Amino acid sequence: MEKHIMDEKTGISYTRQGDYYLPDLALPAEEEKPVGIWGQRHLEYIRQHKKGFYLNLLTSCKLNSYLADVDKQAEDRFFRLVKEYADKQGVTEQLKAENQLEWVGRMNSIRACAREIVEREIIFV
């Protein structure tokens, strides 16, 4: 028995695995885009809570570009929120120069608030 055969009607090739011929199927190559921490968090969320959506993106070869877009949106929103909150609360470079410990504490609080907003509005939806 041959190891590989080709069905002329359908154009599908088959490879023998034991006693069976299985089709040689492969997904088309997807463009690789870098995915940061926000995209990775969203990936874990959709893997666990939105399995159909995840499988649809995976099989249509759109998962990586979707995650890269989510990552970019979340990162932009996060930095914009941090800047806005810091401006509203008067956390400036002058405060950083005068009292570094207070500046670090206030910035950590601002970053935590911004992270929660981004996760609620973009990552875990």
User: 0.85 cut: is pTM over it?
Assistant: no
Q: How far apart are CA 117 and CA 125, in angstroms?
A: 12
Of 8, 40, 7, 12, give the one whose Cα is nearest residue 24.
Answer: 12
* Three-class DSSP category at 17: strand
**pLDDT number for residue 27:** 67
Q: So where are the chain's domains? A: 1-30, 35-123
Q: How far apart are CA 35 and CA 47, in angstroms?
A: 15
Q: How far apart are CA 110 and CA 95, in angstroms?
A: 15
Residues 30 and 64: beta-carbon distance below 8 Å: yes
pLDDT per position in the chain (125 positions), as tens? 788 888 888 888 999 998 898 998 876 677 788 999 999 999 999 999 999 999 999 988 899 999 999 999 999 999 999 999 999 999 999 999 999 999 999 999 999 999 999 999 999 99
